[in-house]
Structure 1
């Protein structure tokens, strides 16, 4: 199984969703051919070659670029997120893996960028250098049986319903709930499958902190070929309080506990994943970081979906809600970026065309937040409480 399609167990439903599509889209869906199939936005079949003593290796890759326009650009200068329009490389990556035999491995190298709703963003060069480096994912795998394996190295997270890199998802940008989830961690992970149940358990460094005090786990139950449920959890087993040089490590989230519960339905044309998320950071960690005085939590919910119009054209979307506990004056921390006591919504629509290794897609997203009077999250004066973005992304996969 290709690990980096968007249907990796235990993270069912890696495409995001929309519950209320524009009437024009709905009318188009009514006329769709019955031959359309819902399928993940995935890399084509790998190129294989004989590597002598290493055995058969598979090679895949992606080269893509994006353009973005946004109103209420972010304050400051020097970053693309501070501009109304910009363009850059979104992915320039090569993947080499060995997925047979007792000893296997996975290596993913190159440049990449990750953009998140409601947040500023960096150039691809800056983001790559200051997050997971030129080898964002790489691990050794020991697979004594088809049902059990152990992986060690730089691993994709077990938490959430989105993957890190844009080509792995149906939407170009990551969502609001993704902001509370880690993306890549260093550690060791065991995976076991027994019939319809898949379980994974990992000891790792959480939000790429180089402090190995996190435990994460995921459990997926495939009810039948169309329906499955999943539960994911993770927690810092201690406290981690020091200065980070990597923008991949967010100190508050690196001290949290997180729980996700969701369901995925996979039909002939439609994939839908609703899920809920709860996180909390203890008062002791918040006080140590100087971010407040009391325990703070977030609650989020999302519905994720993709509808295949034809075997080459699909429409994906996302609707999300997230809240930050507390008030502006009770010592709660700002976990979401919208402030204590805030509530935020997002809506994203992403039509996609894919023909073989070529793809092109457009995206329109909107974020709005209820925040304390006199505060905001965007705009040159920092007081805007909503943001509209339009994006395009195109490239080649092999």
Structure 2
């Protein structure tokens, strides 16, 4: 190839690819913008009371490997995440053992199409990440490595459709349908939800009512704000069963994240309680967890995190025959 042609081709490539502060790359093609982002994490988990006999475990895992692609022409588009996630929790550092949501070792973790047929309206359909809760679909998107008790009882990713009306930048309403699983050709635990997302005086919020047909109901809220070098957030749930309204559960998770230059120290404190053995959180008595995650920013894209999560229950047999357990984690993280 001639030098002049090479220079022109190089200029075109450099002109069509730009990088944003969210560490994503944007590729502009004819009538379409393609945003590329994602992350990969490797984590060493040291977990007490990990097995049914009460013994501990020590395991190194590829905890996340996600390539997230979004293509849009301004009116319609597609968003999907390819890869694998482990979903480690306070309960278990190997919830799905490197299994993607679709049940394979790797695959489409989430994927949906969207369009805006009318001004301020957006319609999404496919395999949707939930709007419920403070914690998101991969560990590198969250302040802590392991997910909490409150997250563990919430919807996560599901087949469905969502309609959102955005009245302004600070206020939107949405309604959605979760198809649920199919049993003998009929939907099992399909769900409906309505909610709002927005902000008031610098405080971001979400509030949702989520109704699992023939199972349970969930009211969820989140509040978050920043003050100087601190981030504060709360995620609360109240749930009750359809067949017995006296069987309920509620939980609250509080997050405090101070940041000092390249160092941040996210702290999550949780309390959950089931009433009348509802089984919503899986504990017969009040249960607590505390998770501390000192994080050092190695570069714009990479971090190193050390974490200790401690859980305690008034039920003396809650964690494989014990009333407490701990999980120590060491994680390397890269986002793009």
Same fold judged by TM-score > 0.5? Answer: yes
Aligned to 1:273, which of 223, 233, 240?
Answer: 233
Measured in 1, the distance between the counterparts of 2:74 and 2:171 equals: 23
| Residue 337 (structure 1) shift | 2.0
Q: CA deviation at 1:150?
A: 0.7
Q: Identify unmatched segments of 5+ residues in structure 2.
A: 1-19
Report the alpha carbon displacement of residue 170 of structure 1 after superposing the two structures with TM.
0.5
Cα distance, 1:335 vs structure 2: 2.4
Distance 1:177 1:146, change over 3 A: same
Q: Does 2:330 correspond to 1:392?
A: yes
**Retained in 2: the 8 A contact 1:160–1:232?**
no
Give how far 1:74 is off.
2.1
State how 1:181-330 maps to structure 2 within 5 Å. 181-195=154-168, 196-206=170-180, 211=188, 213-224=190-201, 226-236=202-212, 238-239=213-214, 255-283=215-243, 295-310=246-261, 312-326=262-276
Cα distance between partner residues in 2 of 1:103 and 1:336: 39
Matched, 1:365 2:283: no
Structure 1 residue 188 displacement after superposition: 0.7
Counterpart Cα distance in 2 of 1:215 and 1:268: 38
After superposition, the Cα gap between the structure-2 partners of 1:280 and 1:207, relative to the gap in structure 1 and judged at 3 Å, is farther
| C-alpha spacing 1:119/1:64, structure 2 compared with 1 (3 Å) | closer
2:104 and 2:248 map into 1 onto residues whose CA distance is 25
For 1:96 and 1:391, the matched residues in 2 are separated by: 29
Q: Give the Cα–Cα distance (whole angstroms) in 2 for the partners of residues 135 and 208 of structure 1.
A: 19
Residue equivalent to 2:3: none
Partner of 1:68: 45
Deviations 1:182-228 (A, max 9, x none): 1101111011221331212111135899647311122134112x223
* Number of equivalent positions: 312
Given candidates 2, 20, 23, the residue that maps to 1:45 is 23
Higher strand share: 2
Alignment correspondent of 2:300: 356
Q: 1:43 Cα shift?
A: 8.4
- 1:222 and 1:117 mapped to 2: Cα distance? 30
Question: What is the TM-score normalised by the length of structure 1?
Answer: 0.72
Matches within 5 A, 1:27-176: 44-52=22-30, 55-75=32-52, 83-119=56-92, 121-122=94-95, 124-126=97-99, 130=103, 134-144=107-117, 147-176=120-149
Aligned residues: CA RMSD: 2.7
In structure 2, what is the Cα distance between the partners aligned to 1:359 and 1:43?
Answer: 16
Alpha-carbon distance in structure 1 between the residues aligned to 2:146 and 2:173: 28
Residue aligned with 1:178, SS: helix
Find the residue that maps to 1:75 and give its secondary structure: coil
- TM-score, normalised to structure 2, is 0.84
* Inter-partner Cα distance in structure 1 for 2:143 and 2:113: 28
Shift of 1:84: 2.0
Query: How far apart are the structure 1 equivalents of 2:46 and 2:139?
Result: 17
Larger radius of gyration: 2
C-alpha distance in 1 between matches for 2:21 and 2:55: 32
SS in 1 for 2:318: coil
CA offsets per residue over residues 83-130 of structure 1, 9 Å max, x none? 421111011111110244111110110111101112462464346563
Q: Any unmatched runs of 5+ in structure 1?
A: 1-41, 240-254, 285-293, 327-331
